[in-house]
Chains A and B, each alone.
Chain A
Amino acid sequence: MIADELKSFPVVAALLEAAPEALTGGKFDRDELTLEIAAQRIVEVCAHLKDEWKFARLSTVTAVDWYPEEPRFEVVYHLHSPERNERLRLKCRLPGENPVIDSVTVVWRSANWYERETFDLFGIRFCNHPDLRRIMLPEDWEGHPLRKDHPVTGDRV
């Protein structure tokens, strides 16, 4: 559901026009605009935002694990438009079982390492990513440390 106060943002109004089902929610809190996007539409929405709304930069991609809630993961994108001096946050929910989402590397190439990092630390897979490998941890590491069910301390058994 899109609150009426959000519709006053031109970006939101335009997205509702271009891809109405893609936008599943949002909020404007502490001067920051957050939009929730249906996971399967993320590439389309990002391409639209980059081309039509001049979001030339992808500032970062990361995730939040809401274990044991379902859908468990939240993939978070921070977009930035230097030209219009605007920032925007996009979020997609993914299930805990086999979390997969399309890679946005086709839109911004900088997504490459950010998605690798998210894959490495959360175990979220990005489809069509050119080089999806671990980036921080060794190749033979077991588990994904930023998941909430991964222990902070202790020996590996």
Chain B
Amino acid sequence: MLSSLMGYYSLIFGLCISLLIILFSVKNFKNSNILDSKILLFSFLQLVLVFVSFLGLVISFVNSDFSNETVFNNSHTTKPLFYKITGTWGNHEGSLLLWLLVLTLFIFIFLVKSKNQLKKYRILTVIFQQIIIIGFFTFLIKTSNPFNYLFPIPEEGLGLNPILQDPALAIHPPILYLGYVGSSIIFSSVLAATTLNYINNDWAKHIKGWVLISWIFLTLGILLGSIWAYYELGWGGFWFWDPVENVSLMPWLALTALLHCILVLEKRSLFKSWIIILSIATFTLSMCGTFLVRSGILNSVHTFANDPERGLFILSFLFVLIFISIFIFFVFHKSDNKKLSPIFLLSKETSIVINNWFMMYFLSVVLIGTVYPIFLDVISSQKISVGPPFYHKLIIPFLIPLLIFMAIGPRLKWIKSELKDKLSLAILLIISVLLSLFIVRNFETNYLLNSILIGSAFYLFFITVRDFFSKKTQRLSQNIAHFGFSLLILSILFNSIFSNEIITNLKVGESYKDDDLEIVFNDLTKENKKNYVLFTGVFSIKDKSFNNILKPELRIYNQPNIITSEADIKITLLQDNFITINTVKNEDYFNVRYMIKPFMLWIWVSVLLIALGGLISLFNKKHEE
């Protein structure tokens, strides 16, 4: 009760402070030469207020204060404490409050960290960021207030959706949000810099850190979501081209393109307009993602509530932001055509342009695949869906040139370059092609495409590995990230080629047998837990290389009344053995799914390596040239 009130009034005060900050900023912009310390002070105050508000919600959740509507809808007294806390952002209202918290945190950090920048630039960035913050404050207070009061006070809450009661999902939203919201700083900053005609090398050096931060968090956030879908949803894979997954991939692709372009701008005055467009696009895509997911247009676990008003609000807010940015782009941005810097065909610049082409191509494929069904529904009310074959067909062939360019591009120099040690590059190419032919031939997967893909992935793999040991490696971060990518593609390929899956319905005591595999359903035990009834199946599985007992679980939650399957996964370096069970109509038969998934662990590890590349670049800014 008290904590809800505290939270609510902190929000209102927070909104008022936004207006104050804009007022001070506008005044300060013309008058003095140094940044008004009041701006910094009030930004800090705003951060504290939003934090208090967030804390208020957390406390309401911990105390199971059901006079708060959000708590009532999403919590339950029997829920473990950990999930009471994480349940705070496991719902629409709370997750938006978290988003707002990150927004205010980032603008404060920005102010502290940008002391060496121009005063006007800092102030303008604050103003643009405050416009976004005001938008979110209004959205939160008007359409999704997390502190709505309920009377009479209910005895018991409705409970949190059990599939959200999972450690990976507890940290997935905050990490992903850090990525999304990081792009808002890039957006505000690029608008400020465009207005002041300040898009240059200094600006690039300064903004690169922010690009890296949001890129790293976005990468990790996507990874966590993917791991969660693998074991908790029992999807048994790492990527499904689900619209909700796509929505997080799109800003990632734009951000990756931007990250590479910033490297150019750091050294040379090129691609200025393109960088502005990319920065705007990244943030717009993040916002579009929120819109699509929150408005209930996409059906998924993230769709907390179908409320047209919310969708409409985000959509109109998005239009305002896009309008402002287009206006600024066309009015203030002057392209400096006169002093065109030379580009030669064989140079680092070209290779980065090529990178951008690939990213934009992938982005448009994913965008069309995600948006087209919605579009068609609105136009002709035809209901369709676009499945994985669409994406595979359009993306996989283009991975081959991408991988090869990723291997060669980084060895080129700025402006004009020659390809050195051609001999060793050629030798490595031959080795990787031979190796892939050997693998593909031996395992009887005679797909031409696969062998070329494996060959090019091995090529990138070998070149990056060699560079770790050669003294010439200038950029460790780039090398690790590219190495991670080659490992990712290799693991995905081997995973998809060698995966094996058996689906069958079994009763207790029955067994499934085929040529080289036996699954025996030994036993089923029942246990009462705090907020669910636990059934554990005991399966013994025998094949040539694997002889083990796996215990998948079936949880029947009492509030809300939902059944979830918990996979049992035996993880080894080479493969995952994965089993899930499910009931059908409470009969004796259980739906059993057993999978052998090679190199799953390496898929996760390689994404971590890609993020690590970004991290090294972030902390190594000065040394890497």
- Answer whether A and B are interacting partners: no
Spell out A's residues near B (CB within 8 Å). none
Spell out B's residues near A (CB within 8 Å). none
